[in-house]
Structure 1
Amino acid sequence: MSRDKNSAVVNKELYGHRLHIPDLVDRLFPDEVLPKPVKAIYTHLSASRLYKPGKRGTEKWIECPDIITVPSNNGDVKAELTRFLRQVANAIASFVDEPRNREVTEEFSASTYVPSTADDVEHKRSPALLFFNDGVPRTWETTICPWEIGRNNRKKTKDKVIEQAIEDCSTIFENQDDRRFVPSVLMLGYNIELRIFDRAGEVYSEEFDMRTKPESFLRILTALMFSDREALGYDPAFTTLPNGTRTITIQGKVYEILERVHHAHGIRGRGTNCWHATCDGKHFAIKDCWMDETRVSVEADFLTEAGKKGVKGVPTLVAEDSPLFRGEKDTTQSICPSLQEQSYRKAFERRDRRQHRRLVLEPFAIPITYFRSKKELIKGFIDAITAHRDLLDLAGILHRDISLNNIMLIDMSDGSRKGLLIDLDYAAVYPEPENPAPGFAARTGTTPFMACDLLSANGPVRHQPHWDLESFLYVLIWICMVYSGPNNKRRNFDLGKSRLAGWTGGSFSVISERKSGTMGRLFEKLLGGFPSYFADLKDCVYKWRDLHFDLSHPRRGAPSHDEVLEILQATHDSLPEADLVLDEDQDGQESLATAPEHSGMSDANDIREDDALSQSVITAPEGTPAAEESTGASNINMLSQNFPQNLDYKGVPDALRGHKRVRTRSTSPEEDFLDGGIIPRNPSTSGGSRRSFGTFTPRDRSPSPSTISEHLSGEATEDFLTKIKRMLKLQGRAKTAVTPEARPSKRRRTEKGA
């Protein structure tokens, strides 16, 4: 993503969610978090002649370089400023009689990028100064705080420095899963401004001159160099053992973190992080997020109710927790205790109010895209749709957010797999209430998979069950278009030039029109884009599509779960147990598609899957567009630690990456929403890539092998059929492609009451 485009993304994300707290420096870093009162530190430094008091305009930091107000020449300004900050920090360490265990460096300000451990790639960022603990690898994962520099505080210069700080902090959140907030410092000539970024947005201090307010400057520098980790935004629930093992404590139980399998992208929003963890020999998924306070415990409550009603095919809630920070409920309003004073409460009401939440869930599973055969893929859909039906019929719960990331697979003891429906973050009681509570999302979903009627409706709408069934259909189509075979084998093609491009960007009404056209008059062309491996699923997709869009066969009401399941079951029964794989690079060679091993966890009792490693959706006040968390694919995560990866997102245009959206009481369907998340987008302005799970591995650019099942029922390309016939001829048999019986309809079917 270009720098200009990324800036627009960030500004849109934070717009209206910035709060000015003039005395933020004093309140965030009070004397209690410093080794000695700042007044005593100031007195000592003045006596040691590091600072020269005087009449207004004559005060001066003796060793502070004057060149900070002129353009840098090959990094000389940053180098001189670093030397000055180290000198002051050493003087403070001598006075407070504590070692200086942190370092400030300008080493990444010129040409060397800061390494990123989240993606195993470099985020192409060159921050001015960064703070680190001594003795650690200097990466984005270990960065404490950025310090960005501008020559002056003119608007154009300041806006650019703010943009740089936002990008720094977004990258820190991307790489660090234990941050409650991230502080940053802006230095504009001799003027200083402290900014804090958290999941509710941004809080910033007054801009002050470090020469006339030396104590404020010392308070910031002393805190960055000597305060404990909690004062700098780190979560105390995490511990790193001497052997490098990380643990998280939830309700008194210590879980060992095996892998971070999902993380949200961006700053403001739920900031979801998910981990594969173990405790007492069992595997769990742990989900950590910052929920809108008006929706706290909704997912936990729904999972509990589903368990009571005997609903199968959804995660089991093992534990839930509302973490405390220094004895108080951890919220975005508790950056520091003093900000809870009455004078600031009204100001904070203008921001998102988010509460920290954690869920421990089982079993731990893998994404639906890791199916081993088409039969297993369809079985996963059957199980997930059955779970969706039972949630509705037995527990009165409507999911409302069916997406690629919320359908998973779990291993059974007999070697088979079952589908699992996850992510009840935006589920709702059905029928939905006439007067829903504040924060109730009236329209929610993930853009490419939202039903056409949901997208095109004006104002608040009540989500209908058959809209979720339509979303399931779009997920299957997405898989058949974006993937080329089993075991998460993605196609190497340009999504922006495919029939799916129009499903991911623009306003709700525009996406609805594009999607309706694709599912109508352009439907046959859409299916023509299926790779050969999925040719024998075309008949299934035709029939399923006709349940929602066929006007040539008048029906009563909306499609039902049983109708969809009947089509899927017939397809499942017609498919072979295993797929034959033809490697087009090796004529006449065929083999069975096999599943990769994943941590050896083949027994159902050992496999544990996460819940809705959910992509974040952010609700907004009435009449305002919903904010977006720049999340990546949210729930593509429940991978076991050693699950093989072959991901490659670099070739996909940024503008075409789908995004989860939600709208609360929004009356205008024409609002423009940014897209990102179905295929992860770059986190920085100039490059890099984000993973949804596992280790990022660049894809082999050699031609991908094609796979076919024993019984083709769709049309294939002439070249491909030639190779098939050559292969089959070697075995003394020949097969002919079968033309699908169902044909596309060009008109959308009527629905009762529509």
Structure 2
Amino acid sequence: MPQSKRSRRRVAATKGQSQRRAPTSPSTKSSLHRISELSFPYALLPAPPVQHLPNHLIMDGDTLDDIVRTSEVIPMVAKALFPDEKFATTPKNMMCALDETLYSIDTHKWVRYPEPSDGDQQESAMAAYLNEFTRACWIFHTGKGRPLPKHVLRWTVTNTVRTALNGEVVQTLGIALVDARVTALQWSDVLCDIQIVPHVDRMPEAVRRLVTLSSGAANTFATQEDRLFHIGLAFAGDTVQLACYDRAGRVLSAAHNIHDNPVIFARMVMGLALLDKSYGGKDISTLTRDGRRFVFVGGLEYEIVETLSINKDIRGRGTTCWRCRRTDSDQDFVIKNAWADKRRALTEGDFLNIAASLDGVGKLVCGETVLRPDGQPHTTTVLRDALKGSSERCAILSQIPQLELRRFVLRPYARPLEEFISKDELLSVFRDAIQAHWDLYELKDVLHCDISDNNIVINEHSGSSLRRGLLIDFDRAVLVDKEHKVGPIGDMTGSLLFMACDIVQYSERVAHGPRHDLESFLYVLMIICATYSGPSNTPREDFDLSDSPMSAWMTGDGDRKALIMLQYEDDQFRTFLDSVFDPYFDHLKDLVCELRTVILRNRDRKVTHRDVLEVLDRHIRARRSAQERPSVVEEGGRDLPVVAECSKPGSRQKRNRRASALSDDMTAARASSTPRHEKEAWSSQSLGSDDRERTLVESHHASDETREASAVRLCTGKRKADPEESTRSSKRKKVAVGHAD
């Protein structure tokens, strides 16, 4: 009898508790139970084996330090990322719906949450738990009339190579959110990254795991062209912390106990697994259709034909460039995605409009700021706005770059500088870029401020047999003061590898001037001569710039760099060039020596564009004359580019650059006597597709390079490698160039 009374009291208490749980109605539970019996995609998924993610990118210690140094803690960042109104039901209501299955309202605990353990059991148990949670959430959303996911996502255990805070490379287990259809997992497939340590008392280790999350973020940014930001989670026992990486750095949530703060845990999992990929950091303005990629700009659709470049840094501009075509045109365009400082008065598009009337500069077709689904710009201040109105927010925003995503359609599509077909074309393209730089400076008061090998490109020139050089990328450009004609003081802009010595050494008190850009042009030529061994993108094998006498260029050792460039005597500098230049570029050492003297060692007067162009013109003429002598070369070689003597920008603006002629009448006469059919034959092969460019190398490489090889053998007695064989050699990974963002 007493036992029966106790049973009745338990039943009554249970009924009273049930009545107090208003959010979980009987109809909701029965709906959830009924739907769970249906054939749901997650129920068909076997537990996946551990996926080995091949390493793509190893971060250096300095980059990791920079991420840690610029991190900010914003406690409610999860709610800013995944607000209540974006869900079919709020995370709090979802917990009520999961009562007695995955969450207990009575005990305020997550039911069957994995116990801490060592080895890979922890990751496997957590992945299974997250998959069950995700499946239940989708079932509930289906009951609310929401459609099933187009592609089912799942959490899977990963084995990856990461970079620790001390720079050590470590092997670590983790979990990734991926498309369930993926079998051979790559970093390009990862939607979210999780790292786990077993116990909360090992929180210091969990913090270190946040560093390895940075390594994962770097890999996703380096492999995913549509990545706007990246989310990682770190678990330490029952504690979770979210890390969000964007182009301004890292934002951390507070460390939350999942049982004390169950809504936050539910919000994180639901936001990543239920909402569309834009909430997890993907750019949905680019789309894939029938295996082809498309992007909309200015109301027009462009097909992405080829990825030209992708910036692999987390922090900075994150520039990605594509070769694209419109459906109504067979013309190639370049579409550029870049995160630009929204505090700058002029955008890159503004500078391109200013330079629109000049030759030798890329042209803007259209440009726009990329918008989020809610119509607001994609910016790096969105997450920091979670501290809106606070003095802490103002302090944070004053220390980080305030960037917004901009997209430009540019023309013409041009080839990278390293695809020059001969040393003569390299010099001609180089000259064109310096000429364009002079025009911009003198006629438009624009200083480029970011001269690099990526920003000088080779373009066909309509109606001409010559490919010309173009100057591109005006992200860093400035309008100079009309009186002093220099840029701002203390602005260390540009690519470190090509920065002028003064800028590297004394950036805080040096005003960026044209001479610094001219110095950068010299470094572009030197880097090409050191890292390539022939034309048509033939990287130099078995050569590491960071382990060479030019290592100071990569490390930013301004004192060492200045010692070489400013203080070395001529014979010392020549020996230095001998130690770093590939033999293919032996004939350009005299030019580099003279350019160094004019740009860096002529302290009596300030170097000008005219000084540099005069040196270039003289060496180009000398090369032409040497190759035209019957005693040195055979007749029938193709004509060399004809360059104009440098002149003031006012007269240059009107000239026809396709018909530039030398002031030397005899040289001009020799150039004009070149048979027209030879020029037309060269043009027809050099101005088209990649296949036609390869044909050009095969047909002209032998005659052009044989002459140069003969000269090398006469001077040095060394045998030169077969140029066709070097053209087919495997490509060396291009030197990574960071920006001082």
Normalised to the residue count of structure 1, the TM-score between the two structures is 0.70
Which structure 2 residues correspond to residues 175-190 of structure 1 after superposition, within 5 A? 175-190=223-238
User: CA distance change for structure 1 residues 379 and 135 in 2, over 3 Å: closer, same or farther?
Assistant: same
Which of 70, 79, 98 is 2:124 aligned to? 79
- Alignment correspondent of 1:561: 609
Q: CA deviation at 1:336?
A: 9.1
Out of 431, 456, 469, the position equivalent to 1:419 is 469
Q: Distance in 1 between matches of 2:498 and 2:434?
A: 15
Structure 1 equivalent of residue 308 of structure 2: 261
> Is residue 2:510 matched to residue 1:461?
yes
Match of 1:322 among 366, 369, 372: 369
The answer as to whether partners of 2:490 and 2:507 remain within 8 angstroms in 1 is no
- Could you list the per-position Cα deviations for residues 706-738 of structure 1 after superposition, in whole angstroms to 9, with x for gaps in the alignment? 8651773898544438999xxxxxxxxxxxxxx
Report deviation, 1:378: 1.0
Classify the secondary structure of the residue corresponding to 2:336.
strand
Q: Distance in 1 between matches of 2:281 and 2:713?
A: 56
CA drift at 1:231: 1.7
Q: Deviations over 1:548-592 (max 9, x none)?
A: 3456xxx85123222222222232233359999xxxxxxxxxx99
Query: What amino acid does structure 2 have at the position aligned with 1:277?
Result: C
| Equivalent residues in 2 for 1:729-744, closer than 5 Å | none
Q: Is the 8 A contact 2:110 2:259 kept in 1?
A: yes
Which residue does 2:71 correspond to in 1? 18
Alignment of 1:52-131 (within 5 A): 52-54=104-106, 59-66=108-115, 69-72=116-119, 75-97=120-142, 99=148, 101-109=151-159, 128-131=174-177
Post-superposition shift, 1:205? 1.4
Matches within 5 A, 1:352-501: 352-413=401-462, 414-431=464-481, 442-457=491-506, 459-492=508-541, 493-501=543-551
Tell me the residue number matched to 1:749: none
What is the Cα deviation at residue 256 of structure 1? 0.9
Q: Indicate how the Cα distance of structure 1 residues 28 and 466 shifts in structure 2: closer, same or farther if over 3 A, else same.
A: closer
Q: Indicate which of 177, 199, 218 corresponds to 1:170.
A: 218
Which amino acid letter does the alignment assign opposite residue 441 of structure 2? L
* Cα distance between partner residues in 2 of 1:511 and 1:534: 21
Name the CA shift for 1:574/1:564 in 2 (closer, same or farther; >3 Å): same
Alpha-carbon shift at residue 447 of structure 1 (Å): 2.9
Structure-2 residue corresponding to 1:306:
355
| Paired position in structure 2 for 1:132 | 178
- Letter of the structure 1 residue corresponding to residue 420 of structure 2: F
CA distance in 2, matches of 1:96, 1:550: 72
Whether the aligned pair in 1 keeps the contact of 2:565 and 2:600 (CA below 8 Å) is: no
8 Å CA contact 1:186–1:194 kept in 2: the answer is yes
Matched, 1:143 2:190: yes
Other-structure match for 1:160: 208
* Counterpart secondary structure, 1:327: coil
| 1:614-629 equivalence runs, <5 A | none
1:181 is displaced (CA, Å) by: 1.4
Q: Structure 1 3/368 Cα, relative in aligned 2: closer, same or farther at 3 Å? A: closer
Q: 1:28 and 2:91 equivalent?
A: no
Counterpart code for 1:323: V
Distance 1:714 1:539, change over 3 A: farther
Contact 1:532 1:707 (8 Å CA) reproduced: no
The CA distance in 1 between the partners of 2:182 and 2:693, in whole Å, is 28
Distance 1:180 1:722 in 2: 45
CA distance, structure 2, for counterparts of residue 292 and residue 312 of structure 1 = 27
Contact 2:203 2:236 in 1 (8 A): no
> 2-side partners of 1:363 and 1:331: how far apart?
29
Q: 1:240 aligns with which of 285, 288, 291?
A: 288
Asked if structure 2 preserves the Cα contact closer than 8 Å seen for 1:505 and 1:511, the reply is: no
Tell me by how many angstroms 1:420 deviates.
0.8
Change (3 A) 1:426 1:91: closer
Is the CA contact (8 Å cut-off) linking 1:375 and 1:578 kept in structure 2?
no
Match of 2:582 among 531, 534, 538: 531
Cα separation, 1, equivalents of 2:498 and 2:191: 38
Deviation for aligned residue 1:507: 4.0
CA contact under 8 A between 2:56 and 2:187: conserved in structure 1? Answer: no
- Aligned residue for 2:189, secondary structure, equals coil
- Aligned partner of 1:548 in structure 2 is 599
Indicate if the aligned counterparts of 1:373 and 1:578 stay in contact, CA closer than 8 A: no
C-alpha separation in 1, matches of 2:405 and 2:522: 34
Residue matched to 2:101? 49
Quote how far apart the aligned CAs of 1:445 are.
3.0
Q: Note if contact 1:409-1:417 (Cα within 8 Å) is conserved in structure 2.
A: yes
Q: Deviations over 1:379-422 (max 9, x none)?
A: 10111111111111111112222222221110234442001111
- Could you tell me how far 1:517 is from its partner in structure 2? 4.3
- How many angstroms apart in 2 are the aligned matches of 1:205 and 1:226? 20
| Alpha-carbon offset, residue 534 of structure 1 | 2.0
Give the letter aligned to residue 87 of structure 1.
E
- 1:729 is matched with none
3-state DSSP class of the match of 1:106? strand
For the 8 Å contact 2:75–2:253, the answer to whether it is kept is yes
Root mean square deviation, CA, Å: 3.9
Q: Is the 8 A contact 2:712 2:718 kept in 1?
A: no
Higher relative contact order (Cα pairs below 8 Å, separated by 6+ residues)? 1
Query: Structure 1, unaligned stretches of length 5 or more?
Result: 115-122, 581-590, 595-638, 647-704, 725-754
Q: Is the 8 A contact 1:184 1:195 kept in 2?
A: yes
> Percent identity, aligned pairs only?
30
**Hey, what's the Cα distance between the residues in 1 that align with 2:623 and 2:570?**
27
Question: 2:246: which partner in 1?
Answer: 198
* SS of residue paired to 1:400: coil
Specify whether residues 330 and 341 from structure 1 end up closer, same or farther in structure 2 by C-alpha distance, changes over 3 A only: farther
* Corresponding residue for residue 207 of structure 1: 255
What whole-Å deviation, never above 9, does each CA across 1:287-331 have from its counterpart, x for those lacking one? Answer: 111112222643222211111xx3210101111111222122321
- 503-512 vs 381-390, greater mean Cα deviation: 503-512
Aligned residue for 2:379, secondary structure, equals coil
Letter matched to residue 49 of structure 1: T
DSSP-derived class of the 2:98 partner: helix
Give distance in 1, aligned partners of 2:299 and 2:418.
36
Q: How does 1:594-605 map to 2 (within 5 A)?
A: none
Letter in 2 for 1:20: V
Q: Distance in 1 between matches of 2:61 and 2:88?
A: 41
**2:282 is the alignment partner of 1:252:** no
Residue 524 and residue 715 in structure 1: after superposition, are their counterparts in 2 closer, same or farther (change >3 A)?
farther
CA 1:209–1:486: 2 relative to 1, 3 Å: same
Aligned residue in 2 for 1:673:
none
Q: State the alpha-carbon separation in 2 of the partners of residues 342 and 643 from structure 1.
A: 59
How far 1:145 sits from its partner (Å)? 0.7
1:571-720 to 2 correspondences below 5 Å:
571-575=619-623, 709=708, 712=711, 716-720=715-719
Cα 1:11/1:134, change in 2 over 3 Å: same
Whole-angstrom CA distance in 2 between matches of 1:353 and 1:229: 23
Residues 149 and 563 of structure 1, relative CA distance in 2, 3 Å threshold:
same
Mapped partners of 1:228, 1:577: distance in 2: 64
CA 1:220–1:524: 2 relative to 1, 3 Å: same
Distance 1:208 1:516 in 2: 56
